[in-house]
């Protein structure tokens, strides 16, 4: 169930745990997918994160907003264990990964898919080899690899590009191949690091639709880092359903319904300036947030 | 950080990289295909310039030494001098310097470019260790191919010397060959092969370290590449001095 009637009290209450209606029978869903407890990090003298705490629940998309250099990408690097915090605790699916070494992190990374800002494709490998990367490393049988690669490229609508090299692709296509590569292995957590930066609006919309499909049709938990309000708009007011012909449709939540599986965090000067729903974000009186979201 | 602290820090980081590369031998995954690819690129790819380097170095040694030897009536010993110099010193050092320039720069540029375009982060995110997949095959390929390249340089150096001795100075080829054989014994050959093993390790470690620690975008890649080549070259020359001393003590050899 991804909806809640907004006439009832909004379910999110700062800092308190929320239970999903209709999903409490699965005890695994109570453990958050990602949890940050008082995480701090500074590069030399520059404080990037200052005692940040938040949770991403199962099946939730957490949109992280903030200006450039506010630590959004740092949060993603911390979840992946590419960098370590100075203090605090990070949990992924209930496991405390704060002190994990590189070998232990490999195990955790198997359930996380990461979409990098510029795609970060391996430029000496073809699209096929890029998407198949994880499977080739695990020495999976080639027939199975091909099947999985085609399935993923179909998901991102790029089957025709299967034999091309990254240099032959446009920025948007590279980003989509990056998404396909991240989704191989069916990760339960996907991290998007400014996936629409530098893309034209229609292409950016396509990327958001992929994120919505993952959230609503594949029950993926995700962090979506962005500073573009359009993305916030799409992700927090549209949902994906499959009609009787197997086609995916995108519907607006409208007035009567409210998506409860998408929330927003805003970062400012190393702290969380806002945490809650997009309706609350738009209604806030804080002058910084007010001007940020309107671009004034 | 003052220069001394920086030096000690870098030494520590390079040692850590070496340890991780050695540890990667213990268990899977081992990247044999990447090792073979690198041996092909480094070994076969450098062969042409090494042959040229060796040939002309041998030639110029004879060119310079022969008139002096002739003055003292010792021209029949020309081959011996060239052989000893080449096999013990010039072969290993010049080969290592050429490879540091060609291969060291390629490795640090390639790895540095991967760092700035987040391909290294992507590799880690996809569960592959960049040390195992990228650094280890390159270091092992250098250790394995540098001795072979050095031997090639030595052979073509002696050949080049012989051509110059015979064609320019009219020295009989048989006399040259006999004096070459007198100038080289098994200790020289062993030492001339042991040095490249160490040089290969030095070039590989420094290039991989610089490449993987690139920062600052494309400018950073240029800086990493330059510093990798310079550092590797100087380290080879310094290491050569200490290795020569060790080998002298080990084999108790003198020049003549």
> Among A120, A122, A197, which would you mutate to test the B interface (most chain B Cβ atoms within 10 Å of its Cβ)?
A120
A209-221 pLDDT, tens digit per residue, is 989 988 888 889 9
Whether residues B126 and A122 touch (CB distance < 8 A) is answered with no
Contacts of A114 in chain B (CB under 8 A): 122, 125
Mean pLDDT score of chain A: 85
Give yes or no for a contact between A133 and B122, defined as CB atoms under 8 angstroms apart: no
Q: Over range A235-252, report the average pLDDT.
A: 84
Residue A78 pLDDT: 94
Q: pLDDT band at residue A72, thresholds of 50, 70 and 90?
A: confident
Residue A243 pLDDT: 85
The alpha carbon of residue A110 is apart from the nearest alpha carbon of chain B, in Å, by 7
B16-45 pLDDT, tens digit per residue, is 999 999 998 888 788 999 999 999 999 999
Residue B227 pLDDT: 95
Distances (CA, A) of A79 to A21, A75, A114, B125, B217: 28, 6, 10, 10, 24
Specify the residue for token string 């005692």.
A51
Residue A288 pLDDT: 84
Residue A11 pLDDT: 41
Residue A257 pLDDT: 63
A183-234 pLDDT, tens digit per residue, is 998 899 999 999 888 888 888 898 899 899 888 888 899 999 998 888 988 8
Q: Over range A147-161, report the average pLDDT.
A: 92
Residue whose C-alpha is closest to residue A75's, from A197, A274, A273, A223: A223
Q: Which among A82, A123, A134 is the nearest to B126, CB-wise?
A: A134
Residue B62 pLDDT: 94
Asked if B122 has any chain A CB less than 8 Å from its own CB, the reply is yes
- State yes or no: pLDDT of B253 exceeds 90: no
A140-152 pLDDT, tens digit per residue, is 999 999 999 999 9
A111-122 pLDDT, tens digit per residue, is 999 999 888 999
Residue A4 pLDDT: 46
B160-210 pLDDT, tens digit per residue, is 999 999 999 999 999 999 999 988 888 888 888 899 999 999 999 999 999
Whether residues A112 and B126 touch (CB distance < 8 A) is answered with no
Asked if B125 has any chain A CB less than 8 Å from its own CB, the reply is yes
Residue in B with minimal Cα distance to A190: B125
Q: Which among A102, A114, A137 is the nearest to B125, CB-wise?
A: A114
Q: pLDDT band at residue A27, thresholds of 50, 70 and 90?
A: low
Percentage of residues in chain A with pLDDT exceeding 90? 44
Q: Which among A82, A110, A121 is the nearest to B127, CB-wise?
A: A110
Distance CA A125, CA A133 (A): 9
Distance CA A116, CA A111 (A): 16
Q: pLDDT band at residue A16, thresholds of 50, 70 and 90?
A: very low
Poorest-pLDDT segment among A42-46, A178-182, B65-69, B179-183: A42-46
DSSP-derived pairing of the beta strands A3-4 and A258-259: antiparallel
DSSP-derived pairing of the beta strands A221-226 and A189-193: parallel
The H or E element spanning position A250 is strand A248-252
Give yes or no for a contact between A66 and A227, defined as CB atoms under 8 angstroms apart: yes
Q: Which among B119, B127, B128 is the nearest to A120, CB-wise?
A: B119
Whether residues A82 and B29 touch (CB distance < 8 A) is answered with no
Q: pLDDT band at residue A62, thresholds of 50, 70 and 90?
A: very high
Buried b / exposed e along B174-205 (16+ C-beta atoms within 10 A): ebbeebbeebbeeebeebbbbbbbbbbbbbbb
Give yes or no for a contact between A92 and A36, defined as CB atoms under 8 angstroms apart: no
| β-pair partners for A92 | A34, A95
- State yes or no: pLDDT of A13 exceeds 50: no
Give yes or no for a contact between A149 and A131, defined as CB atoms under 8 angstroms apart: yes
Asked if B1 has any chain A CB less than 8 Å from its own CB, the reply is no
Specify the residue for token string 């450039």.
A68
B119-159 pLDDT, tens digit per residue, is 999 999 999 999 999 999 999 999 999 999 999 999 999 99
- State yes or no: pLDDT of A68 exceeds 80: no
What is the SS3 assignment for B169-207?
A: CCCCHHHHHHHHHHHCCHHHHHHHHHHHHHHHHHHHHHH
Query: Tokens representing B216?
Result: 């600052």
Residue B245 pLDDT: 93
Distance CA A134, CA A186 (A): 11
């Amino acid at each position: 169930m991804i909806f809640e009637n907004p006439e009832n009290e909004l379910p999110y209450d700062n800092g308190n745990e929320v239970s999903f209606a209709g999903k409490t029978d699965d005890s695994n869903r109570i453990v958050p997918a990602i949890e940050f407890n008082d995480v701090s990090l500074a590069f030399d003298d520059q404080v990037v994160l200052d005692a940040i705490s938040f949770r991403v629940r199962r099946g939730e998309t957490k949109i992280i907003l903030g200006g450039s250099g506010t630590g959004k990408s740092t949060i993603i690097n911390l979840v992946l264990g590419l960098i370590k915090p100075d203090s605090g605790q990070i949990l992924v699916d209930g496991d405390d990964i704060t002190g994990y070494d590189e070998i232990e992190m490999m195990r955790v990374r198997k359930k996380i898919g990461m979409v990098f800002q510029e795609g970060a494709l391996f430029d000496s490998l073809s699209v096929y080899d890029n998407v198949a990367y994880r499977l080739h490393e695990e020495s999976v049988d080639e027939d199975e690899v091909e099947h999985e690669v085609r399935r993923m490229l179909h998901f991102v609508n790029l089957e025709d590009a299967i034999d091309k090299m990254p240099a032959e692709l446009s920025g948007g296509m590279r980003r989509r191949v990056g998404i396909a590569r991240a989704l191989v292995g069916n990760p339960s957590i996907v991290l998007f690091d400014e996936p629409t930066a530098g893309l034209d609006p229609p292409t950016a919309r396509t990327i958001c639709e992929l994120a919505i499909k993952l959230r609503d049709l594949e029950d993926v938990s995700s962090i979506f880092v962005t500073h573009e309000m359009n993305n916030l708009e799409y992700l927090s007011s549209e949902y994906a359903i499959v009609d009787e012909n197997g086609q995916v449709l995108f519907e607006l939540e409208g007035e009567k319904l409210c998506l409860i599986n998408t929330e927003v965090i805003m970062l400012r000067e190393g702290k969380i300036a806002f945490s809650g729903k997009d309706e609350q974000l738009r209604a806030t009186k804080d002058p910084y947030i007010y001007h940020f979201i309107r671009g004034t | 950080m003052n220069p001394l602290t920086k030096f000690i820090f870098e030494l520590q980081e390079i040692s850590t990289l070496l340890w991780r590369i050695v540890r990667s031998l213990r268990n899977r995954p081992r990247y044999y295909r990447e090792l073979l690819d690198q041996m092909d690129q480094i070994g076969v790819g450098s062969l042409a310039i090494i042959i040229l380097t060796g040939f002309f170095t041998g030639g110029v040694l004879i060119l310079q030494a022969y008139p002096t030897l002739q003055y003292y009536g010792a021209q029949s010993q020309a081959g011996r001098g060239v052989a000893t110099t080449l096999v013990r010193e010039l072969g290993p050092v010049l080969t290592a310097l050429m490879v540091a320039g060609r291969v060291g720069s390629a490795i640090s540029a390639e790895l540095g470019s991967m760092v700035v375009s987040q391909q290294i982060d992507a590799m880690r995110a996809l569960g592959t260790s960049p040390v195992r997949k990228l650094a280890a095959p390159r270091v092992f390929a250098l250790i394995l191919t540098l001795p072979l390249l050095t031997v090639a340089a030595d052979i073509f150096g002696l050949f080049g010397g012989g051509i110059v001795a015979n064609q320019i100075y009219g020295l009989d080829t048989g006399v040259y060959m006999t004096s070459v054989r007198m100038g080289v014994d098994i200790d020289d050959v062993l030492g001339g092969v042991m040095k490249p093993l160490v040089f290969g390790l030095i070039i590989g470690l420094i290039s991989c370290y610089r490449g993987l620690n690139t920062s600052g975008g494309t400018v950073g890649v240029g800086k990493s590449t330059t510093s990798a080549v310079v550092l590797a070259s100087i380290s080879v020359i310094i290491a050569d001095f200490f290795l020569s001393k060790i080998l002298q003590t080990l084999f108790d050899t003198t020049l003549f």
